[in-house]
């Protein structure tokens, strides 16, 4: 078998080898480290991972050979919670935030998400496409090879929701980074439904979800379950309909108030519950029992300056699998930098470097239902990997706030070089 690309003499090769399932508890620390490692790729797939190239793998002058000395190689990073496609930006809220206004204060003042809704409704397909493409390029430069992208800035304007999902679909086709789409019409109560939120829930269920499912525009459905947004009952109603239509389930759960989102995610066996800053101990236990992945977003806590972060250590101890994402969005977390999120997760939430890399590779893949083909370096899987200009994993997390990426390989092709 002839290799098309080989990376050899890799100082630290982090394979994440093991079962294709979310890794929880002690398993989240097993990263399959190989010293002086070699990865061989044929076309878009990995054909060998180890420390001595077997004879059946041929190398000739057409094989690209990369030197891994002084480098750390990991599976391509997976940013499994973003609001990638949107119009506008909200730097004008910075002054309010510095004076201590909370997310809900800004929302009540008619700002926050509603200003992004307005900007996204007004933006053309092309404007949204170009803006999101720019962000995808940045994500790729930080080592991200798969991104989840939610709609949710059209809300009651269904055409805008569809526009967002179609932009994501087109970018998935055009851009090296893969995009997994999530429908999140239930992202805010539209201003005109303020007094009749249940009517809006009915519209999502009866009019929006069936079309999203029929046109196969999203793999998942997500709901912002929070005080002042969607209640537990409303969230349950929407997600049950989504499930009936064959969509996977996600939930923005217990970000601000302990509403019972973690418990609801467990009840509905959601693939992930995200945020979880205020999740109750019972909710965490219930998630562990049902195998719900905790998708943590420390960049959001950091940017909102709440001082409150999800109890990551508690989640690990209770054997909940943890994923980590940017939550990239124009309001509560305007950054595409997953490496910064990895540092925050370790420095603030006390996850170990091993738990962090697990969270952005195999557990990220599992939270998107793609762990059979992505998220670890094993023969047969897609050749998505990052070469970091860093001698070891700890260095990437410790030397924070900069970009350590040397090269990114997607489907066996070098798609980013420093």
Closer of 40 and 229 to Zn ion (Cβ): 229
Closer of 187 and 404 to Zn ion (Cβ): 187
Q: What tokens appear for 115 in the block?
A: 């200003």
H runs (alpha helix) in 100-231: 103-108, 113-122, 125-141, 158-174, 197-203, 209-214
Q: Which residue is nearest to Zn ion (CB)?
A: 327
Alpha carbon distance 168, 175 (integer Å): 10
Closer of 79 and 327 to Zn ion (Cβ): 327
Considering only 18-26, 63-71, 320-328, 379-387, which stretch makes contact with Zn ion by CB under 5 A? 320-328
Considering only 66-74, 123-131, 319-327, 397-405, which stretch makes contact with Zn ion by CB under 5 A? 319-327
Task: Tokens 């499912």: give the residue.
Answer: 213
* Cα dihedral: 21, 23, 26, 32 (round 10): 80
Interaction mask 274-313, Zn ion, x per CB under 5 A: ----------------------------------------
Alpha carbon distance 211, 119 (integer Å): 24
Closer of 219 and 404 to Zn ion (Cβ): 219
Q: To the nearest whole angstrom, how small is the minimum distance from the Cβ of residue 154 to Zn ion?
A: 16
Considering only 111-119, 261-269, 321-329, 384-392, which stretch makes contact with Zn ion by CB under 5 A? 321-329
Closer of 327 and 384 to Zn ion (Cβ): 327
Closer of 93 and 327 to Zn ion (Cβ): 327
Interaction mask 322-341, Zn ion, x per CB under 5 A: -----x--------------
Cα–Cα nearest to 151, from 128, 174, 184: 184
Residues in Cβ contact with 233 at an 8 Å cutoff, skipping those fewer than 6 apart = none
Q: What tokens appear for 17 in the block?
A: 């080898």
Give the SS3 label for residue 77.
Answer: strand
Q: Interior CA angle at 347 toward 317 and 150, to 5°?
A: 80
| Total residues interacting with Zn ion, rule: CB under 5 A | 1
Q: To the nearest whole angstrom, how small is the minimum distance from the Cβ of residue 252 to Zn ion?
A: 6
Q: To the nearest whole angstrom, how small is the minimum distance from the Cβ of residue 150 to Zn ion?
A: 7
Which positions lie near Zn ion, rule CB under 5 A? 327
């Amino acid at each position: 078998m002839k290799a098309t690309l080989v990376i050899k003499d890799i100082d630290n090769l982090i394979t994440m080898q093991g079962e294709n399932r979310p890794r929880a508890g002690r398993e989240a620390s097993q990263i399959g480290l190989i010293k002086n490692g070699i990865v061989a790729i044929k076309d878009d797939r990995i054909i060998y991972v180890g420390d001595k190239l077997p004879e059946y793998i041929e190398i000739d002058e057409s094989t690209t050979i990369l030197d891994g000395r002084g480098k750390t190689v990991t599976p391509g990073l997976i940013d499994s919670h973003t609001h990638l496609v949107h119009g506008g930006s909200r730097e004008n809220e910075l002054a309010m935030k510095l004076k201590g206004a909370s997310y809900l204060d800004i929302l009540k003042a008619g700002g926050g998400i509603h200003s992004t809704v307005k900007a996204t409704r007004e933006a053309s397909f092309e404007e949204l496409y170009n803006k999101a493409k720019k962000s995808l390029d940045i994500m790729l430069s930080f080592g991200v090879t798969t991104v989840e992208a939610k709609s949710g800035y059209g809300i009651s304007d269904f055409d805008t929701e569809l526009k967002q999902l179609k932009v994501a679909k087109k970018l998935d086709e055009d851009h090296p980074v893969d995009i997994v789409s999530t429908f999140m019409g239930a992202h805010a109560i539209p201003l005109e439904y303020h007094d009749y939120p249940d009517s809006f829930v009915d519209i999502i269920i009866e009019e929006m979800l069936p079309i999203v499912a029929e046109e196969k525009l999203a793999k998942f459905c997500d709901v912002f379950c929070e005080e002042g947004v969607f209640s537990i009952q409303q969230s349950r109603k929407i997600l049950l309909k989504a499930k009936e239509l064959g969509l996977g389930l996600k939930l923005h759960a217990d970000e601000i108030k302990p509403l019972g989102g973690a418990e609801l995610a467990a009840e509905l066996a959601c693939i992930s519950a995200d945020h979880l800053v205020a999740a109750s101990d019972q909710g965490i236990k219930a998630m562990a029992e049902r195998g719900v992945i905790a998708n943590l977003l420390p960049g959001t806590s950091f940017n909102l300056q709440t001082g409150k972060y999800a109890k990551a250590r508690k989640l690990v101890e209770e054997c909940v699998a943890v994923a980590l994402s940017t939550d990239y969005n124009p309001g509560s977390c305007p950054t595409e930098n997953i490496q910064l999120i990895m540092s925050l997760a370790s420095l603030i939430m006390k996850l170990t470097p091993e738990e962090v890399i697990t969270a952005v590779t195999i557990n990220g893949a599992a939270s998107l239902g793609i762990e059979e083909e992505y998220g670890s370096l094993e023969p047969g899987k897609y050749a998505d990997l990052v070469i970091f200009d860093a001698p070891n994993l700890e260095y990437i997390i410790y030397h924070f706030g900069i970009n350590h990426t040397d090269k990114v390989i997607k489907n066996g092709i070098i798609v980013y070089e420093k």
